[in-house]
Amino acid sequence: MLRSAKLIISKPTIAQKVSNVFKEMGMSEKLAMPTALVCEKMEKLHGAIQLMLDAKKNVDRADQELRIAAARKEGTGHGTRGGSVTGTPSVREKRSVSVITDGDAGEPKRHKKD
């Protein structure tokens, strides 16, 4: 079995990101001359790219946490997952075409659709 066939196989989600990095650099993931030295260098490159992607993920996570903390400190509520910290929830303004109110009764009256 060729050593080039045994190169690092990472998780599918990370493998796609590593592939995208290779494409961005204009390089092919497949080796033209897979000698022992070339395979070793390729494994190191794969490892370095995975390390870079992990670092980017951690930086993005920390950046998001900082934005959330700053928004809470300001009291604006922007940047939180659950929506606005302050303010009123949005009110649905439109009703379905098939439901209308019956005059003063205020109760919905359903009509059959044709």
For residue 55, is it within any domain? yes
pTM: 0.53
Residue 21: inside a domain: yes
**pLDDT reported for residue 87:** 46
The DSSP bridge pattern shows strands 108-110 and 99-101 to be: antiparallel
In a domain, 20, yes or no: yes
- Answer yes or no: is 105 within a domain: no
- Whether 87 is in a domain gets the answer no
**Based on the structure, what is the number of domains in the chain?**
1
4 lies in some domain: no
Q: Within a domain: residue 114? A: no
Is there a domain that residue 111 lies in?
no
pLDDT at 1: 46
Euclidean distance between CA atoms 109 and 96, whole angstroms: 11
Q: Which segments in the chain show pLDDT lower than 70?
A: 1-10, 76-114
Domain of 59, in residue numbers: 10-74
Burial pattern 75-91, b for ≥16 Cβ within 10 A else e, equals eeeebeeeeeeeeeeee
